[in-house]
Structure 1
Amino acid sequence: MEIQKVDIYGIRLPLKEPFIISYDTFDHMPIIVTRLETDEGIVGWGESLPDPHVTGETWESTYQVIRNELAPLVLGENPFSIDYIHKKMNERIYAAPSAKAAIDIALYDLMGKITGQPLYQLLGGKAHPELVTPQVISMKSPEAMAKDGAAFVKAGYRNIKIKVGSGGGPSLDINRIRAVREAISEETKLRVDANQGWDLFTAITVINETKDCQVEWYEQPVIAHDLKSIAEIRRTTHAKIMVDESVHNSQDLLNVIEHRAADLLNIKLMKAGGIYPALALASIAEAAGMSCQIGSMVESAIGTLAGAHLSIAKTIIKSNEMIGPKMFTKDVGEVVYHGDVLKLPDKPGLGVDVDEYFIKENQIFQCSLSI
C-alpha cells in the first residue's frame, strides 16, 4: 500500500456575506485542496486554508510549498506512516502548518477508507453524543450584530460568538457585547473573540464593563506573543480567557501553561499542521487541566469534517466551531446540520463526497505529481 499520485488544486469559495474580524475582511475564502491516491485506487482528500495574519502563509506560497516541498515527500509512502511523514515534512520545511495540514488530513481520510471506518473511530471513538455548533457574528454595528444574534437564537442556536476588536477605544466593543446579550435569551451562551484586536488597557476595560453580560469566555484579547499581558488580564479580571493565535504548536502551549496565561485553548488544524499534531496539543492541554475547542479558519466541507471527527473523539474537546460550510454559497462537498447540530457521517474516512467537477471547473491553479 503506497501513495502514487498527488493532485493539488487552488480554488476560491464565495461567502454569503463578507466576514469581518479585527485584522481583515474576507469576501471569499482561498483554499487549497489536496487529493492523494494509492496504488489500489483509494483516494484521500485534504485541505489547506492559510491565513497570512495567523500562520504567515499566503494562498500562493502554500500552493508552492505543497507542490515543491511536501507532496514529493509522500509519494511512495504508506498512508499509515503518519508520524514518519510528519517528521519528513518538519525536517524539510519549518512551520508552514496549513500546508502540512493539507497532507495530514488527506492521510487520515485514506486511513479511514482503507480500514472501512469513519475517522472518529480511528481517533478513539465517540466521546460526545453530538456536536453542537455555534453561530459566529462578524464585526458590524452593535444594532446589526444584535439583530443577527436575535435571528440566530430564534433559529435554534444555543451558542453565539461575536467578533470584536476593531480599534478606536473600548466603548464600541462594550456596546456590541451589550447589544447582543440584550438581544438573545439568558440561556444562550455568549462568547467574545477579539482576534488580537485589543491592547491591555482596552481588554481589561471591556471585560470589566461587560461583567454582567454573562460572557462564557473572551478569546485572544491581545497580540499573540504577549503572554504577560494575557496572563495579567486573566489574573486581574473575572473572565475565563481562551488563547487561539498564541498557540500553534506544543512549545507554544507549554509557554502559555508556564505563564498561566489561559483557561482554555482553541486548536485549529491549520495552525497545528493537521490532526496528528492537534492530538498532541489536546493531550498536553488535558494534562494541564485546560479544556479545548476545535476552531475553524472557515474551511470547506473537507477541513470542517476533519475538525468534526477530532472534536467528537476527545473528552477534553468541549466545544467546536465547525461552521465554515454554513457560510459559503457553494462548497466542495456537503456537511449536514440539523439546527445547530452537525451530523457526522458514518461513512469511511472523513465521509465527504467531494465534487471533483466543481473543483476542476473553479480551479485557479492545479498540478499533479505521480510515480
Structure 2
Amino acid sequence: MSATITNVETIPVSVPTEESYETSLSVATGGQGAHDHVLVRVETDAGVTGVGEVAPHSPWPHGLTQSAVVDLIADRITPAIDGKPLHRIPRLVENVEQVLSGESFPLCGIDMALHDALGKLRDQPVYELLGGPAGKEPMVDLHSSIGIRPPEEVREIAARAAEEGFNAFKLKVGGPDLAAERAAVEAIAEAVPDARIRIDANQGWTAAEAVNAVPELDEAAGGLVLVEQPVPYDDTAGLRRVREAAGVPVLADEACFSPQDVASLAKQGACDLINIKLAKTGGLSRAQDVATVANAHGLACFMGSMLELGVGTAANAQFAAASPAVSYPSGVLNVHAASTLIEETERWTPDGDRFIVPDSPGLGVTLDSDAVERYRVD
C-alpha cells in the first residue's frame, strides 16, 4: 500500500514542568519553567497521520526557539516533502536536509512523524521498521536520573528509585560546589550499596576543573561508570585530556550531533562512548547513522533524551529497543513528562528499571486532543 504526503501541521505547546530538574546548563541559563515544544502532524492521502515532536532547547548548541521551529517547518520543510511518497523516508530526509542549514531539531520532529505514519500504514511498530530487535524482546534498560539537588534530597530520590528496582543512576553535576556534589554521590552510594553511578556535567567544567573533580567523585562513588560531557562541546582537546587523566570512561553528548562528529571524536581519542539523542541527530534515520559510525570506531552507545513529552519519549524508546548499538542503561523515559499529551490508555510505565516497548503500529501512541488543546500556544 502506498501513500502520499498531503499536509504538514505544527502545534506549538507549552507544558509546565512538574518537577525541577536542574543541570549545570539550566542553572547557568535560568532554568526551564516549561516544555516549549512543537508537535508535528504529517497527513497522507491513505488516511494515516504520523505524529512527531520537536524539543528545541535553545540554550543548546544548534538549539532553536519554538517560533523558529514553527517557521522552518512551514517555510522550508513542508514544501520539500509535500506531495512526495511516504515510503521513501531516506529521500525525504535528504530533501529536508537540503533546505536546512544543519538544524537537526526540526528535522527530528519530521522524521519521527514520517516513521510513525509509515508504521501505521504497514501495521508495524517503528522498532521493526528500523530492523530490530532481531529475535529478541523489544526491551529497554533504564537508569534513574537525578538533577542537581542537595545531598539529602538525592539520598531520598535514590532510595525511592531503588525500591522501584533501579540500581543504575545518572547524577547531574558540574556546578560550583564540588563538596556538595561529592556528598550527593556519596548519598547515592550509601542509599543503594550496589549502585552503578554515572555523572553528567553538561559542559559545566573546564578541562582543569574536570581533571580535579572526576577522580574525587569517582572515589566517592566507589568507582564511576562514566562521566558525561565534562567540558564545553567545542573543547575536543579538553575532552581528550579528561579521558586521559581522570581514569573514568568519557561519554560525549553536546559534542556529538552527527556521524562526522563521531568519527572526529574517535580519531582524536576524545571519548569512549556516544550519547545518541534523536533531537540532536535529526531523528531516527540519522541516529542509525550515528550508531553505525560509532560501532565502526569501537565506541559504545548510550541513549538519552531531551526531556521530550509523550511522543518524543515513544520515539526514543522505539530506537533504543531496535538498536543493538545501545548497550548501556538509558535515559529514554522522561519520568516527569513521558505520558504528557498522549491518550491515557497508551501511557508507558516502566517495570522497574526496564521497559517493554509495545507492538502497536507506528510509535505506539495517540495524541490526547483535549490535552493538546489545553497546552497549545498558537
Note whether the superposition's TM-score is higher than 0.5: yes
Q: How many angstroms does 1:329 deviate by?
A: 9.0
Q: In angstroms, what is the RMSD of aligned CA positions?
A: 1.6
Conserved? CA contact 2:310–2:339, under 8 Å = no
Q: How many angstroms does 1:180 deviate by?
A: 2.2
For the pair 1:232 / 2:246, whether they are aligned, the reply is no
Q: Note the residue ranges of structure 1 that are not aligned, 5 or more in a row.
A: 366-371
User: Following superposition of structure 1 onto structure 2, how do residues 176-215 of structure 1 map, counting pairs within 5 Å?
Assistant: 176-186=184-194, 188-212=195-219, 213=221, 214-215=223-224
* Larger relative contact order, structure 1 or 2 (CA cutoff 8 Å, min sep 6): 1
Structure 1, residues 56-78: CA drift from partner, whole Å, max 9, x if none? 21112112111221122221011
Tell me which of 234, 238, 251 is aligned to 1:242. 251
Structure 1, residues 17-50: CA drift from partner, whole Å, max 9, x if none? 1221111122221111011110011110111001
Conserved? CA contact 1:204–1:237, under 8 Å = yes
Q: How many angstroms does 1:215 deviate by?
A: 1.2
Distance (Å, rounded) in 1 between the aligned partners of 2:72 and 2:293: 29
Structure 1, residues 250-270: CA drift from partner, whole Å, max 9, x if none? 221111011111111001111
More strand, by proportion:
1
| Letter matched to residue 325 of structure 2 | I
Q: Residue 76 of structure 1 corresponds to which residue in structure 2?
A: 83
TM-score between the two structures when normalised by the length of structure 2 = 0.92
Q: Residue 129 of structure 2 corresponds to which residue in structure 1?
A: 122
Conserved? CA contact 1:12–1:30, under 8 Å = yes
Conserved? CA contact 1:18–1:28, under 8 Å = no
Structure 1, residues 193-226: CA drift from partner, whole Å, max 9, x if none? 0000011122111211133312111000000110
For the pair 1:58 / 2:65, whether they are aligned, the reply is yes
Q: For residues 329 and 115 of structure 1, do their structure 2 counterparts lie closer, same or farther at Cα, with a shift above 3 Å needed?
A: closer
| Letter matched to residue 299 of structure 1 | E
User: Following superposition of structure 1 onto structure 2, how do residues 6-21 of structure 1 map, counting pairs within 5 Å?
Assistant: 6-21=8-23
Conserved? CA contact 1:17–1:27, under 8 Å = no
Tell me which of 41, 45, 50 is aligned to 1:39. 45
Q: Residue 104 of structure 1 corresponds to which residue in structure 2?
A: 111
Q: How many angstroms does 1:172 deviate by?
A: 3.0
Deviates more, 1:273-282 or 1:302-311: 302-311
Deviates more, 1:57-66 or 1:40-49: 57-66
Q: How many angstroms does 1:312 deviate by?
A: 1.2
Structure 1, residues 95-124: CA drift from partner, whole Å, max 9, x if none? 111111110000001111111111111111
For the pair 1:342 / 2:355, whether they are aligned, the reply is yes
Distance (Å, rounded) in 2 between the aligned partners of 1:329 and 1:15: 11
> What is the aligned-residue identity percentage?
28
Deviates more, 1:146-155 or 1:132-141: 146-155
Secondary structure of 1:317's aligned partner: coil
TM-score between the two structures when normalised by the length of structure 1 = 0.94
Q: How many angstroms does 1:15 deviate by?
A: 2.3
Distance (Å, rounded) in 1 between the aligned partners of 2:275 and 2:320: 11
Runs of 4+ in structure 1 over 3 Å off: none
Q: Residue 141 of structure 1 corresponds to which residue in structure 2?
A: 150
| Letter matched to residue 21 of structure 1 | T
| Letter matched to residue 104 of structure 2 | P
Q: Note the residue ranges of structure 2 that are not aligned, 5 or more in a row.
A: none
Count of residues in Structure 1 that have an aligned counterpart in Structure 2: 362
For the pair 1:321 / 2:331, whether they are aligned, the reply is yes
Structure 1, residues 331-363: CA drift from partner, whole Å, max 9, x if none? 111223222322311111111122123212321
Tell me which of 39, 51, 55 is aligned to 1:49. 55
